[in-house]
Amino acid sequence: MTDMNDEPIALYTDTEDADLSSAVALLEAAGFRVVIDELVSETELAMRVGELQPAALLITYAPVGEPVFKAGPTIRVVSCCAVGFDSVDIAAADRHGVWVCNVPDAATEEVASHALSMALALVRRLPFMDRHVRDGGWSFDAAGTAALPAELTLGIIGLGRIGRRLASLSRSLFADVVGCDPLLDDDAWPQAVRRLDLESCLAASNVVSLHTPLTDTNEHLINARTIELLPPDAMVVNVSRGRLVDEGALLDALDRGRLAAAALDVTDPEPPEVGGRLRSHPRVMLTPHAAFYSAATPDRYLIHQAENVSSWRREGVPRNAVNRPSGAGDGLGPASIS
């Protein structure tokens, strides 16, 4: 175990060659010794944690569950470098008294504008017209009849920061904007969005855009059953997490004309199989998990991730916590570790 007088360790697990200089300086100023590794599997992460006994883990995609927490009883905070935190076993973190936090606001504008761009591209059939022309064609209706956003309803599943920003950007473009988010309080609900339950929202949506974190209860939210709730020729946009969509059911629906098109920035797995149905489907638009990206976002994500950990060091509670672990009351900083 880490002695209370030791310099606490902050361990980066998988940085993907990011420039960590500013984030590391912030952590060091908070009193951490920073260790940077490339640990992709949970097994190798658990082994390294057992050696180092860090107080904090800063992760990108590395899976963190019971084996890691058992190997590192000194761990008190796990900071994810994304809005999503599905690579962490939250129940296990709670049992071990570990805070888990995310970065919810580093790329709100980027992701919302990417989702809107995807939706508009599908509505106007732009990627499919482009393929037609590149293949030697020149027919205005080869990709089907392009619609007008002003004739359609946009449905937003998940009205967090990104979903609300998408609603703000979209309300003057689409005939109607509807949404579903059972966790959002009424006083935070955007006025321009009609609030519906999930099934009613899907039934009303010509274009549905997913903006909800992946949880144990919403994997394959878009599946064979829920696709049937959508209007004929509906379109699906996903910039959230790949496992929200049952890709087999999606592709089957596209093949039989039940859906008009799909635009995916995230897939399951990532990247999708080379030569697989998803990459080659004529009605699927793909981007390489890039919705978050702009010139400013990499440093923004890393700084916010580090700030979550440094705030825990200073105050005992991290910023942007997504859980409230039992036994991790206010004031638990590294000096309390025995």
d(CA 66, CA 115): 35
Q: Within a 10 A sphere around the Cβ of 139, how many other Cβ atoms?
A: 9
Residues in the chain: 338
Kindly state the DSSP code that residue 321 receives in the 8-state scheme. B
| Active-site residue set | 241, 270, 289
Give the distance, in angstroms, between the CA of residue 307 and the centroid of all CA atoms in the same chain: 19
Beta strand 33-36 with 99-101 is: unpaired
CA distances from residue 131 to 127, 134, 142, 247, 281 in whole angstroms, order as listed: 6, 5, 10, 22, 12
Which of 204, 233, 238 has the alpha carbon at shortest distance from 125? Answer: 233
d(CA 199, CA 275): 34
Which of 9, 12, 10, 20 has the alpha carbon at shortest distance from 38? Answer: 12
CA distances from residue 325 to 58, 90, 100, 133, 321 in whole angstroms, order as listed: 18, 9, 9, 56, 10
Is residue 123 within 8 A of residue 152, CB to CB? The reply is yes
Give the distance, in angstroms, between the CA of residue 43 and the centroid of all CA atoms in the same chain: 24
d(CA 79, CA 89): 13
